[in-house]
Amino acid sequence: MKELTHFIGGKHVKGTSGRFTDAYEPMTGDTVSKVPLASKEEVRAAVENAKAAQPGWAAVNPQRRARVFMKFLELAAKHNDELAEMLAREHGKTIPDAKGDIQRGIEVIEFCLGIPHLLKGEFTDSAGSNIDIYSMRQPLGVVAGITPFNFPAMIPLWKAGPAIACGNAFILKPSERDASVPLRLAELFLEAGLPPGIFNVVNGDKEAVDAILDDADIKAVGFVGSTPIAEYIYTRGCANGKRVQCFGGAKNHMVVMPDADMKQTVDALIGAGYGSAGERCMAISVAVPVGEDTANELIKHLIPRVESLKIGPSTDLAADYGPVVTKAALEKIKGYVDIGINEGAKLVVDGRGFKMQGYENGFYLGGCLFDNVTKDMRIYKEEIFGPVLSVLRAKTYNEALSLCNDHEYGNGVAIFTRDGDTARDFASKVQVGMVGVNLPIPVPLAYYTFGGWKRSGFGDLNQHGPDSIRFYTKTKTVTARWPSGIKEGANFSIPTMS
């Protein structure tokens, strides 16, 4: 069994706290590595390395920073298969899905190639008598990201890419469940020419998180995970004077109108509901058919599709999805299915008894499908984060819209319809951060911003796109007048442009 490290100052550093946690290979259930859990002192060592390296990196002009990113893209492409296999084995998602995870992170790095343009400020010539005004964007200094298990490549790159491109030094605290890929990404950035100390990886648990939140030299923190932890990090980070963005849980609805193309709708639901074993914050977990006829038709088509889902080990390229990340996650999901049955929902497909031949100790669960779910049930109100789809029937479009708007989460939502007026009305009125029209997982491309509303997101700025540049920089505005434009004598009134 291998022992993972931290990555500080451009070097692998063994953990010294004496605390470790096990990481598993979900498809077999085997323990594959021991992950060190950093102490406050180890986090501080990373901060000191980052703080020492950051001024030199900030002094590198944006075009040369972009060249480091270009080299990283070459290396990521060269090692794509290696990264995908590493990710799949440690997380449990299939290799094709792992490659999608990596690609979505790579697209943000591609966006960061435009950093010379993205960092341009504004300039006004002769804003007043012989006065020019201009603004500039400058890095914050040392910043940090705390990222989840379900996207061990994508979300670290979403956080690290813009932060580093803007001239900051970055400390990543990835999930301790699948830390190998983040460590490998740090190695590749170093190989691409990033100076030591600019991208650090510190593995850990709550002790490391609290050390990050309480360290005065860390100026900003980004987080993705569950809503209770997002709220905790946001509250504690802000109380310590940091800039904080936190993204939490989700309960994403798909509204199915009577005029929707049923075949396209079912294809979309199957992929979005069960892909990656449902372990996505943008997974569709609630289908809302409008009208009994629509609901009956939807259920009729869904049942055989869910029953025929191909579940396999992460290395099976033909599998629809693989195991969930840990045994604890598996038992939690099964527990939610039990809760749904006890609450009176109709379990029309039960995947709890699924066993993978040859992988009996793996963390597998067959697809589960509930019908007749109601909005007062826990399986509707809470995030399950597994291959469980709930169907909640709505009588009217307005009822379906209200369900989306009244839920405490507001991450993603979709509507399937052929009617442009309905789609436009829905997109305008739904109180959710990301909306799909005939598209089940509305994750924006890298040059737009990603972020949920309500209790799915805390903070004023979103991930990637222009918001990420604003989050990782501070704006300085300069008002300049040279001696030839200055009149003699003191002026005791507030300056105006009159």
Looking from the CA of 458 toward its CB, the CA atoms found within 13 Å total: 24
101: burial class by Cβ within 10 Å (0-12, 13-18, 19+)? buried
Residue 166 among the catalytic residues = no
Sequence-distant (6+) residues with CB within 8 A of 96 are 317
Three-state secondary-structure class, residue 291: coil
Q: Residues near 328 by Cβ (< 8 Å), separated by ≥ 6?
A: none
The helix/strand/coil state of 453 is strand
Strand bridging mode 30-36 / 2-3:
parallel
Provide the 10 A C-beta neighbour count for residue 341. Answer: 14
CB-based contacts of 308: which residues, under 8 Å, 6+ apart? none
Q: Taking Cα atoms as reference points, which of 223, 164, 222 lies closest to residue 190?
A: 164
Sheet containing 199-201, strands listed edge to edge, beginning at the edge strand earlier in sequence:
11-13, 6-8, 199-201, 169-173, 142-146, 218-224, 243-247, 457-458
Tokens of 95: 């290799």
Write the CB contacts of 188 (distance below 8 Å, at least 6 apart in sequence).
Answer: 72, 75, 76, 79
453-454/142-146 β-pairing? unpaired
Strands (E) in 1-122, as ranges, are 2-3, 6-8, 11-13, 20-25, 30-36
Q: Do 411 and 281 touch, CB atoms closer than 8 A?
A: yes
The answer to whether the beta carbons of residues 201 and 109 sit under 8 Å apart is: no
* Cα–Cα distance, 407 to 283 (Å, whole number): 16
Q: Which of 166, 246, 281, 368 is catalytic?
A: 281
DSSP summary character for residue 456: T
What is the CB neighbour count within 10 angstroms for residue 96? 13
- How far is C-alpha 416 from the geometric centre of its chain's CA atoms? 25
Q: Which residues are catalytic?
A: 281
